[in-house]
A = this chain, B = another copy of it.
Amino acid sequence: MESKTAVAGLAALAQDARLAIFRLLVQKGPEGLCVGDIAAKFGMAAATLSFHLKELTSAGLLVARQEGRFIYYAPDFEEMNALVSYLTENCCGGGTCAPAYRPVARKRKEKVT
């Protein structure tokens, strides 16, 4: 993943409403939820929700699928995986940071003598 893509993904998630939306959809899994149901869950204006869904979708984190009159949004797990991988590889000191974290030198306070 390129850094520009990563920035786009991070920006998409870096907002209360959008992070909440994305988390909800992750819980729902690949089937996702239709816009109306998401709106009901958060009680935001339809236009606002549509704006956020568009942000998440153009960042590649959501995929939309039409089903009758409804449009279902679901996470693109592969893209999210790529984003997390980017972070562990580029922002965590080469894997030393994340899950398999090695108890290396914790930062310690300067001793004032």
Contact = CB atoms under 8 A, between A and B. Distances in A.
Interface of A: 3-4, 6-7, 10-11, 13-16, 19-20, 22-23, 26-27, 29-30, 63, 65, 75-78, 80-81, 83-85, 87-88, 90-93, 96-108, 110
A92 B85 CA distance: 12
Dominant secondary structure at the A interface: helix
| Copies of this protein in the complex | 2
Which 10 pairs show the lowest CB-CB distances between chains A and B? A10-B14, A11-B14, A14-B14, A77-B97, A81-B97, A84-B98, A100-B105, A10-B13, A10-B10, A26-B93
A81 B107 contact: no
B104 A75 contact: no
